[in-house]
Amino acid sequence: MSGAGIAALARGWLGTPYVHQASRREAGCDCLGLIRGIWREALGAEPAPLPPYTMDWSEPQGQERLWQAAHSYLTPKPLEGAALGDVLLFRMRTGSVAKHLGIQSELGDTGKRAVSVPRFIHAYSGRGVVECALSAPWQRRIVARFAYPQEVL
């Protein structure tokens, strides 16, 4: 599926409530659940079962478990190679593990006729699945960029 197709699927999740560990469109999801749900819609069954996790998972140990899992199932990309449908991995605080995910939904355009900013879709506690500007503060938090595989692993 194309990156534009992934972004379109992500838009179908807008308004889904935030529910920790869930991954069902309209019923509820967290940021990882959004990525998992889009995987199922685009590629079929998920590649591996997911163990239960707490809100502060990996922080006490300082392990980059989400980053490692992304490397196992998604295709790593250069940070500067933005494309629609990319999975973005964020580090929310300096020195903490990277543990927030989103989908690049717009690349932005600074042409003479129209000015738009890059955008992304993510599940955010207290807000649900929303589309936001990928503003400079958000961009600074991106530590990795991935693409969904073109076919099921």
Residue 111's pLDDT is what?
63
Residue 38's pLDDT is what?
98
Higher pLDDT, 64 or 151: 64
Q: Cα dihedral sign for 9, 35, 127, 109?
A: negative
Q: What is the pLDDT of residues 34-83, one digit of tens each?
A: 999 999 999 999 999 988 887 777 666 778 989 999 999 999 999 998 99
Looking at the predicted structure, is the pLDDT value of residue 150 above 90? no
Residue 152's pLDDT is what?
55
Q: Write phi, then psi, for 145 (nearest 5 degrees).
A: -135, 135
Per-residue pLDDT, averaged over 22-40, amounts to: 97
> Sheet harboring 119-124: ordered strands across?
75-77, 142-147, 87-90, 100-106, 119-124, 128-133
Looking at the predicted structure, is the pLDDT value of residue 153 above 50? no
> Which architecture does CATH list for 3-147?
Alpha-Beta Complex (3.90)
Q: In this structure, are residues 146 and 74 in contact, taking their beta carbons and an 8 Å threshold?
A: yes
Looking at the predicted structure, is the pLDDT value of residue 26 above 90? yes
Residue 35's pLDDT is what?
98
Residue 112's pLDDT is what?
60
CB atoms < 10 A from the CB of 58, how many? 18
b/e per residue 4-43 (b: at least 16 CB within 10 A): eebbebbeebeebebbbebbebeebbbbbbbbbbbbebbb
What pTM value is reported for the model? Answer: 0.92
Domain ranges of the chain: 3-147
Residue 58's pLDDT is what?
67
Q: What is the pLDDT of residues 86-119, one digit of tens each?
A: 999 999 988 899 999 999 999 987 666 666 889 9
H or E element: which one contains 130?
strand 128-133
